[in-house]
A and B are shown apart, each in its own frame.
Chain A
Amino acid sequence: MPLRLDPHFTDPDAAYRMLVDAHRGLSEADSAMLNTKLVLLLANHIGDLDVLRAALRAARGGVSA
Chain B
Amino acid sequence: MSMTAPIPTSIGERKSALFRFGYRRSPDQDATTPVRRPVVVVGAGPVGLTAALDLARRAVPVVLLDDADRIGEGSRAICFAKRTLEIFGRLGVAGRMVEKGVTWQLGKVFHGPEQVYAFDLLPEGGHAMPAFINLQQYYVEQYLVEAVAATPAIDLRWRNKVTGLAPGADGARLTINTPDGPYMLEADWVIAADGARSTLRSLLGLDFAGEVFEDRFLIADVKMTGAFPAERWFWFDPPFHSGQSALLHRQPDDVWRIDLQLGWDADPEEEKRPEKVIPRIEKMLGHRDFTLEWVSVYTFQCRRLARFVHGRTVFVGDAAHQVSPFGARGANSGIQDAENLAWKLALVIKGEAPESLIATYDLERGAAADENIAHSTRSTDFIAPRSAQEKRFRDAVLALARTAPFARRMVNSGRLSAPSTYDTPLSTPDVDRWAGAARLGAPLPDAAMRARDGRGTHLLSALGDGFTLLSFAPETPVRVQGVESLSIDDRGDLRDVEGQFRERCDATPGAAYLIRPDHHVAARWRRPAAAAIHAALARARGG
Contacts and interface: CB of A to CB of B under 8 A. Distances in A.
Interface of A: 32-33, 36-37, 40-41, 44
A40 B395 contact: no
A44 B396 contact: no
A32 B392 CA distance: 8
Contacts of A33: 392, 395-396, 399
B397 interface: yes
B399 A37 contact: yes
Nearest to A43: B406
A48 to B, nearest CB: 14
Q: Please indicate which of the listed interface residues A32, A36, A41, A44 has the most CB atoms of chain B within 10 Å of its own CB.
A: A36
Is chain B's binding surface mostly helix, strand, loop or mixed? helix
B400 interface: yes
A33 B410 CA distance: 17
B468 to A, nearest CB: 39
Contacts of A37: 396, 399-400
Contacts of B400: 37, 40-41
B32 interface: no
B392 A41 contact: no
Q: Can you list the 6 inter-chain pairs with the closest CB atoms, starting with the nearest?
A: A36-B396, A44-B406, A37-B396, A36-B392, A36-B393, A40-B396
A46 B389 CA distance: 22
B391 to A, nearest CB: 10
Q: Please indicate which of the listed interface residues B396, B406, B410 has the most CB atoms of chain A within 10 Å of its own CB.
A: B396
A36 to B, nearest CB: 4
Is chain A's binding surface mostly helix, strand, loop or mixed? helix
B388 to A, nearest CB: 8
A8 B76 CA distance: 55
B407 A40 contact: yes
Interface in B368-421: 389, 392-393, 395-397, 399-400, 404, 406-407, 410
Nearest to B391: A36
Contacts of A32: 389, 392
A56 B396 CA distance: 18
7 contacts: A32-B389, A36-B392, A36-B393, A40-B396, A40-B397, A40-B410, A44-B406
B348 to A, nearest CB: 41
A43 to B, nearest CB: 9
A36 B407 CA distance: 12
A32 B395 CA distance: 11
A32 B406 CA distance: 21
A42 B146 CA distance: 56
Contacts of B389: 32, 36
Nearest to A47: B406
Contacts of B410: 40
Contacts of A41: 400, 404
B321 to A, nearest CB: 27
Given A36-B395, A44-B407, 15 more contacts: A32-B389, A32-B392, A33-B392, A33-B395, A36-B392, A36-B396, A37-B396, A37-B399, A37-B400, A40-B393, A40-B397, A40-B407, A40-B410, A41-B404, A44-B406
A44 B408 CA distance: 12
Nearest to A29: B392
A51 B146 CA distance: 56
Contacts of B399: 33, 37
Nearest to B388: A32
Contacts of B396: 33, 36-37, 40
A33 B399 CA distance: 10
Contacts of A44: 404, 406-407
A41 B406 CA distance: 9
A39 to B, nearest CB: 8
B292 to A, nearest CB: 39
A53 B406 CA distance: 19
B182 to A, nearest CB: 57
A37 B393 CA distance: 7
Contacts of B393: 36, 40
A45 to B, nearest CB: 9
A33 B388 CA distance: 11
A38 B12 CA distance: 48
Interface in B406-447: 406-407, 410
A41 B403 CA distance: 12
A33 B396 CA distance: 7
A57 B286 CA distance: 49
Interface in B116-139: none
A41 B399 CA distance: 12
A40 B393 CA distance: 8
